[in-house]
Structure 1
Amino acid sequence: MARHSKAAGRTVYTVVPNADLKVGAHRAEDDKVPLAHRVSAIVVAAGVAAGTAAIANAATSGSATELAAGAAELGALPDQQVKTIQTIHDVNPGSQVGKLLQHQQMYAQQTFEQATKLAADAHAQRTAAAEAAAKAEAERQAELRKPAKQREIEGWIKEAITVLQANGTNIDNSSVQAIYTIIIKESNGNPNAVNNWDSNAMRGTPSKGLMQCIDPTFNAYKLPGYDNIFAPVDNIIAGVRYTYSRYGGFHNHPGLVNLNNGGGYVGY
């Protein structure tokens, strides 16, 4: 270009030589793109990365607020742009973009891993619930296959165990089978059974009821309100408390110990 001027009016003219004009020619840009343009590119890239990660996090957390925040980040808000420009001023733009993208990639991976863990935990809970339901159903079916008499006796035993627990005896339903075995061996499950032939009967104190308690033993180990030696629950309560007092529990009950060792039942 050539610049000319007139002294009087200080009018300035810009003259472009004809030789410099070419058909279809375009203005050539400087190879050195201004920093602001490069920063703008970084902001866009960072905004896309941050927004994508935030949206991924919102998708897994189910938060509408986080999702909106992610969308805003995707658009690179002005205040975020200013902050980014201040942070990366006079820094190699390519290197900064790489760091930002690497950070966002790590954030997105963590979000994905958290979502995967939540899914795995939910699956484990569903599996455990299904297994528990299957076990309960198997136990119910096994219960239905038992003879009616056994179900009735075990019902009395479980009721007695509940009363015993409420009154300080350390017992639970794992003892049902042991008590049931004693009852069958002692009285064959007859709540009104009375033994008139053993040594106790000879002394005038015959054994009575499901667990064949003699009157003195029953009176010593019964609980208040459970005073009928022929009532199934009352008799079981006294028999269990006597067993705990004398033998420390069913693991030392002589009849059960002998059966476990391959012998016959021994009265207690």
Structure 2
Amino acid sequence: MPETKLPDAGGSPLARHSKAAGRTVYTVVPKAEVKAGAHRAEDDKVPLAHRVSAIVVAAGVAAGTAAIANAATSGSSSELAAGAEFGAVPDQQPKAVQTIHDVNPGGEVGRLLQFQQMYAQQAFEQATKLAADTHAQREAAAKAEAERQAEMRKPAKQREIEGWIKEAIKVLQANGTNIDNNSIDEIYTIIIKESNGNPNAVNNWDSNALRGTPSKGLMQCIDPTFRAYKLPGYDNILAPVDNIIAGVRYTYARYGGFHNHPGLVSMNLGGGYRGY
């Protein structure tokens, strides 16, 4: 017998089926309930556990989104990473093991930018130091060349005398005299005024000569003075370096240095040279 559907008292259709025994059985077919504003109808028979899971996931997504927003405004990269895990809050993030899914892209970009900044800073500092060193080397080379050119412009006699002075200064320094090449000009001036740069000069006309102790050598030392202020191994009063050593040591002992040398003091005041 064909199936016939009859309405029941509640509006639900009834399915009538014929049975072999000649009886008719009616079964209520429930209507699908559609709620206002819904996009689809849900079957009332969906298990409760599935519905609860869906609610939990939705709540988790909302919580994660809130965590991301909060971290974005607060500047906390750890909270941002934690909120990025759907539905997780920062305290619930696994911390023992990190997988590729746990990587915080913002943090990685930050680390890369920090590395690039450090690399750029180091490169800048190295370039700056190299430039400074190169500049200093160029300046030193230029100064040395200028000094060499100035030296070459000096008369040969002056270069020779200054060579003796430099050698004497080295010996004096090695024996405790506080002197350096800044005194070259002062010593040179004394030598020119005293002997005109002649290491064999002997003065036979001044008061010392009248007493039998003529002044000798570049710095015109008398024999008693030379013997008192010479250094061991530098015993020849007419040898340029030996004579300079004794004359400098005498000047330091008597005047405390060239700043009180009577001839230099007089010249600095606009007067003439005076013997010492």
The interval holding the TM-score normalised by the smaller chain is 0.5 to 0.7
Task: Tell me by how many angstroms 1:86 deviates.
Answer: 7.8
Higher helix residue share: 1
Q: Secondary structure at the match of 1:98?
A: helix
* In structure 1, distance between residues paired with 2:245 and 2:269: 27
Aligned to 1:118: 126
* In structure 1, distance between residues paired with 2:121 and 2:245: 56
Q: Counterpart of 1:222 in structure 2: which amino acid?
A: K
* In structure 1, distance between residues paired with 2:100 and 2:107: 16
Within a 5 Å distance, the mapping from 1:77-92 to structure 2 comes to 84-85=98-99, 88=102
1:16-69 alpha-carbon deviations (Å, 9 max, x no partner): xxxxxxxxxxxxxxxx9xx9xxxxxxxxxxxxxxxxxxxxxxxxxxxxxxxxxx
Q: Secondary structure at the match of 1:207?
A: coil
Instruction: Give the alignment partner of residue 226 of structure 1, picking from 229, 234, 241.
Output: 234
1:155 has 2:163 as partner:
yes
1:201 has 2:215 as partner:
no
Q: Counterpart of 1:146 in structure 2: which amino acid?
A: K
Against the structure 1 CA distance between its residues 98 and 151, is the aligned structure 2 distance closer, same or farther, given a 3 Å change threshold?
same
Structure 2 stretches lacking a partner, 5+ long:
1-57, 62-95
Task: Tell me by how many angstroms 1:87 deviates.
Answer: 8.7
- TM-score using structure 2 length: 0.63
* In structure 2, distance between residues paired with 1:87 and 1:250: 82
Aligned to 2:179: 171
- TM-score using structure 1 length: 0.65
* In structure 1, distance between residues paired with 2:99 and 2:270: 88
Q: Counterpart of 2:215 in structure 1: which amino acid?
A: S
- Pairs aligned (count): 184
Percent identity of paired positions between Structure 1 and Structure 2: 72
Q: Secondary structure at the match of 1:208?
A: coil
For the pair shown, the structure with the greater C-alpha radius of gyration is: 2
Task: Tell me by how many angstroms 1:199 deviates.
Answer: 1.2
Q: Secondary structure at the match of 1:162?
A: helix
Q: Counterpart of 1:176 in structure 2: which amino acid?
A: I
Structure 1 stretches lacking a partner, 5+ long:
1-31, 36-81
Task: Tell me by how many angstroms 1:205 deviates.
Answer: 0.8
Task: Tell me by how many angstroms 1:103 deviates.
Answer: 2.5
* In structure 1, distance between residues paired with 2:240 and 2:110: 75
Within a 5 Å distance, the mapping from 1:52-71 to structure 2 comes to none
Q: Counterpart of 1:154 in structure 2: which amino acid?
A: E
* In structure 1, distance between residues paired with 2:273 and 2:98: 87
Task: Tell me by how many angstroms 1:165 deviates.
Answer: 1.0
